[in-house]
Amino acid sequence: MTIVCPLDFRYGRDEIKKIFDEENRLQYLLDVEAALARAHADVGNIPEKAAKEISLKASLKYVKISRVKEIERETRHDIMAVTKALSEVCRGDAGKYVHLGATSYDIVDTANALQFSDATNIIKAGLKELRNTLVDLAEKHKKTIMLGRTHGQQTIPITFGLKMAVFAKEIDRHLERIHECQSRILVGKMSGAVGTGAALGRHALRIQELVMRDLKLGVEDASTQIVGRDRYVELISVLSNIAVSIEKFATEIRNLQRSEIAEVLESFEAEKQVGSSTMPHKRNPILCEQICGLARIIRSFIIPSFENAIQWHERDLCNSSSERFILPHSLILTDWIIHQMNTVLKNLQVFPEKMIENIEQSKGIPMAEAVMTKLVEKGMGRGEAHELIRKCSMKAIAENKQLIDALLDDKSISAVLTKKELLDVLNPYNYLGMSEKIVENIVKKLRRGQMENKK
């Protein structure tokens, strides 16, 4: 068999990929058919014996994927192939009750919800692990001072721990989002061709309720032939939002790993790993770069997901083919980049001494705000202080000198602040604000959440 998709040989973890492989997909469909038969028996539509036989045979042990494919080649209909293959292996007359009153997408969309349940639970577990890794880094580096940067330019100092705490809270919010999202995406339907339940008879609503309760899913209270695709739009949007954050983290590491910054380093196996086929010295952040590329693929599924929500009347078939790509790929790849990001962060090399060196090489320029603030404390107007320090900063940059020298040269400043006061103000350790306290608060809050989840 020719393998084309990189998910088959390069990306994705086996645990979540198995949810979407051919055999397990078939089993999810069979699980829905079995639940439907049991519901019919509960309301008296079919014999209990027939429901038990269908439930017993709705298994890969009896329904072979090779037979399903053989039937599909003849019928050119995937769900008809499943129902016929299941009917064939049922003893007695049980087979005639398979798929009774249902339309194909009663089975497909309900099976989708079962897959969503298993896949999003894996993603939630990955997010929790990533959050814990970030909390550990935040706590470890709550006093590790470094330059903050905005617009790619050096700004006032922060701590590496604060940066990690910001990321940890972002992941915590994603956990909330995907948990809340589950209540809306783990929903199935069993209401027939246009949502009326006509073919299911007078017990249609009860049958739908029984099926979903059996499968531990929510009920689509009013549907067309399919579950509302606003639900799928929400799922893909949440996954895309997660992908944005993971790419942001990876981009930050890539930037901090730049040769001229060199404050962190993605783990590199120096003894064997190769960074470039031609440049032997290279240590590329390959996992972070992979994360960034795959995150863009996940987000690209947003557009077709929105377009799939637009159906002709009670439904057309345009969503079917694209969802075969969108659903498994987005879930598998989201889990993968979460896992890869956690791998990067668990093994991340952090260089506090380089962070300090970069601060020292800045010649005190990033501390301009601190001096301005001190002048205001001494009674100078904020606008006046800002303009004064701006001119001194520009002078220091133009003349490639320390900011303190430019400040001492200005009589307006030296008349207000002594050299000793200026040195104190220019000490980056004295201008970290509430960084440490913020980190401690976040660590405490998220650690408490971890303990509560274990109970």
Q: Which two tokens stand for residue 11?
A: 């990306």
Residue 372 lies in a domain: yes
Among 88, 97, 84, smallest CA distance to 43 is for 97
Residue 154 phi, psi (nearest 5): -65, 135
Residue 446 lies in a domain: no
The reply to whether 116 and 167 lie within a common domain is yes
Domain boundary among 310, 332, 353: 353
> What single-letter DSSP state applies at residue 203?
G
The reply to whether 340 and 265 lie within a common domain is yes
Is the Cβ–Cβ distance between 379 and 414 less than 8 Å?
A: no
Say whether 66 is catalytic.
no
The Cα 320–Cα 308 span in angstroms is: 8
pLDDT at residue number 284: 84
pLDDT at residue number 283: 72
What's CA 335's distance to the chain center, in Å? 7
Question: What's the CATH number where 378 sits?
Answer: 1.10.40.30
Among 99, 112, 100, 98, smallest CA distance to 227 is for 112
For the chain, how long is the longest CA-to-CA vector? 103
Average pLDDT of adjacent 10-residue blocks, the chain of 455 residues: 88 97 97 98 98 98 97 96 98 97 98 98 98 98 97 96 98 97 97 96 97 98 96 98 98 96 85 52 83 98 96 93 96 98 96 97 95 94 95 95 94 92 96 97 90 63
> What single-letter DSSP state applies at residue 220?
-
The domain total for the chain is 3
Among 305, 289, 320, smallest CA distance to 240 is for 305
The reply to whether 91 and 111 lie within a common domain is no
Residue 89 lies in a domain: yes
The reply to whether 205 and 115 lie within a common domain is yes
The Cα 264–Cα 286 span in angstroms is: 14
The Cα 361–Cα 402 span in angstroms is: 9
Dihedral (Cα; 170, 174, 176, 178), 10-degree rounding:
180
The Cα 51–Cα 214 span in angstroms is: 14
Q: 């008809």: which residue's tokens?
A: 80
Domain boundary among 58, 78, 97: 97
Say whether 87 is catalytic.
no
Region of 83 (left: φ > 0; alpha: ψ -120 to 50; beta: rest) is: alpha
Is the Cβ–Cβ distance between 116 and 124 less than 8 Å?
A: no
The reply to whether 87 and 175 lie within a common domain is no
452 CB burial (10 A radius; 0-12, 13-18, 19+): exposed
What's CA 159's distance to the chain center, in Å? 25
Enclosing domain of residue 48: 6-97
Residue 313 lies in a domain: yes
pLDDT tens for residues 265-295? 998 665 555 554 445 555 788 999 999 999 9
Question: How many CB atoms are closer than 10 A to CB 73?
Answer: 9
pLDDT at residue number 277: 46
Catalytic one of 66, 151, 183, 259: 151
Across the strands, what pairs with 149? 154
Residue 15 lies in a domain: yes
pLDDT at residue number 455: 53
Coil, helix or strand at residue 150: strand
The reply to whether 172 and 47 lie within a common domain is no
Residue 152 lies in a domain: no
Catalytic one of 77, 179, 276, 414: 276
Q: 């795959």: which residue's tokens?
A: 294
Domain boundary among 292, 321, 353: 353
The Cα 357–Cα 351 span in angstroms is: 10
The reply to whether 321 and 385 lie within a common domain is no
The reply to whether 109 and 90 lie within a common domain is no
The reply to whether 190 and 77 lie within a common domain is no
Coil, helix or strand at residue 155: strand
pLDDT tens for residues 139-164? 999 999 999 999 999 999 999 999 99
- Length of the chain, please? 455
Residue 338 lies in a domain: yes
The reply to whether 186 and 113 lie within a common domain is yes
The reply to whether 121 and 87 lie within a common domain is no
For residues 106-128, one letter each, b for 16 or more C-beta atoms within 10 angstroms of the residue's C-beta and e for the rest, the string is bbbbbbbbbbbbbbbebbbebbb
Question: What's the CATH number where 137 sits?
Answer: 1.20.200.10
The two beta strands, 264-265 and 187-188, are: unpaired
Region of 386 (left: φ > 0; alpha: ψ -120 to 50; beta: rest) is: alpha
Residue 183 lies in a domain: yes
Question: What's the CATH number where 83 sits?
Answer: 1.10.275.10
The reply to whether 32 and 81 lie within a common domain is yes
pLDDT tens for residues 158-202? 999 999 999 999 999 999 999 999 999 999 999 999 999 999 999
